[in-house]
Structure 1
Amino acid sequence: MTEHPRPPVPTEERHLPEVDAGRLWAGGLATALVAALIVIVAAFVIQAFVTIPVVPPLGATHLGDMVTLAYALLAALAAIAATGLLHVLLVATPRPLLFFSWIVALTTVVAVVTPFLAAASRNSQLITAAINLVVGIAILSLLNGVGLSAVRRP
């Protein structure tokens, strides 16, 4: 007795996960706020306790410095970009959170190494690298959780 191959299942019946875009982007915006606040709070704490410039070679050293605010905005934009990436991966790839984690982790490594390419003191480079590491970890961990909560399985 031979087995007949099953006909292909129409796309509607494949039980693909649905992405709740509203939930995903709300979580992405919240992550952007956290990323920006990490930079601002770090700059504030560093200014309160040490006299090391936060952003080499530009020398943002205190809360309210325009460069510190630009740095915070850049961290927020990184979180928004990561949310966009996560959205694409959730709808288009198998194991999207694994790919997302690798991409964000490798991008974080670049952000951590970048301050060491600037002409600045070693302490300034270390402080900036540490802030970049914390921002990267925050984006990775928060958006992984957001990604899990934004996927609805039929």
Structure 2
Amino acid sequence: MSEDDRTREMSRDPHPPRRPAVQAGRLWAGGVATAVIAALIAMVGFLIVRVLLQIPYLAPIEGDIIGGWDGAVQLAIAAALAALAATGLAQLLLVAVPSPMAYFGWIAGLLTAVATVYPLAFSTEPLTVRIATGVIHLVIGMAIISLVTTTVTSASTRI
């Protein structure tokens, strides 16, 4: 055996890296909790912008109690669905790709960037409304990324 062959043989890891085993129940319980938190962030963001800052965000300020909340409820539902989609993406990446959380971070981060910049670039709303929308989307995205990453870490074990 040549020296190159011995060097290659010694550099091989006799124990290849193991895939994480995911406790699906814990992962999805964390995903549902993340969805609730994302929806609540959307509602709090709506209240801060509408009540404290008096920016006509998602609906006219003169709207009645029920009608004035339509946009906020839609945003909360979208935020919750985004959190559940992020949980599904994380689970898919865990079983399909090497370094799954690196891919998750890139995908979720870029989707958050799109959700943040989109209203700034393509909305016809006043600038204050566009900025408020972008900031709320950014905070929701950051929370989802943080919580799903923590949930995956907690729900994964090396086998």
TM-score, normalization by structure 1: 0.84
Judged with a 3 Å threshold, the aligned counterparts in structure 2 of structure 1 residues 137 and 130 are, in CA distance, closer, same or farther, namely: same
Please identify runs of 4+ aligned residues in structure 1 that moved more than 3 A.
13-16, 60-64
More helix by share: 2
Alignment of structure 1 residues 57-76 onto 2, 5 Å: 59=59, 65-76=69-80
User: Residue type of the partner of 2:104?
Assistant: F
Q: Flag structure 2 segments of 5+ consecutive residues without an equivalent.
A: 10-15
Pick which of 61-70 and 30-39 moved more: 61-70
Note the alpha carbon deviations across 1:14-45, whole angstroms, 9 max, x for none. 84321110011011111111110001011112
Judged with a 3 Å threshold, the aligned counterparts in structure 2 of structure 1 residues 119 and 93 are, in CA distance, closer, same or farther, namely: same
Question: For residue 13 of structure 2, what is the aligned residue in structure 1?
Answer: none
User: Residue type of the partner of 1:104?
Assistant: A
1:87 corresponds to 2:78: no
Task: Give the alignment's Cα RMSD to 1 decimal.
Answer: 2.2
1:31 corresponds to 2:34: yes
Q: Flag structure 1 segments of 5+ consecutive residues without an equivalent.
A: 6-12
User: Residue type of the partner of 1:133?
Assistant: L
- Counterpart secondary structure, 1:18: strand
TM-score, normalization by structure 2: 0.82
User: Residue type of the partner of 2:151?
Assistant: V
1:128 corresponds to 2:133: yes
* CA distance in 2 between partners of 1:121 and 1:37 (Å): 25
CA contact (8 A) 1:32 1:78 kept: yes
Pick which of 62-71 and 115-124 moved more: 62-71
Note the alpha carbon deviations across 1:99-119, whole angstroms, 9 max, x for none. 000000000011001112111
- Counterpart secondary structure, 1:52: coil
- Counterpart secondary structure, 1:23: helix
- Counterpart secondary structure, 1:53: coil
Alignment of structure 1 residues 16-27 onto 2, 5 Å: 16-27=19-30
* CA distance in 1 between partners of 2:60 and 2:89 (Å): 30
CA contact (8 A) 1:60 1:67 kept: no
CA contact (8 A) 1:29 1:80 kept: yes
1:102 corresponds to 2:112: no
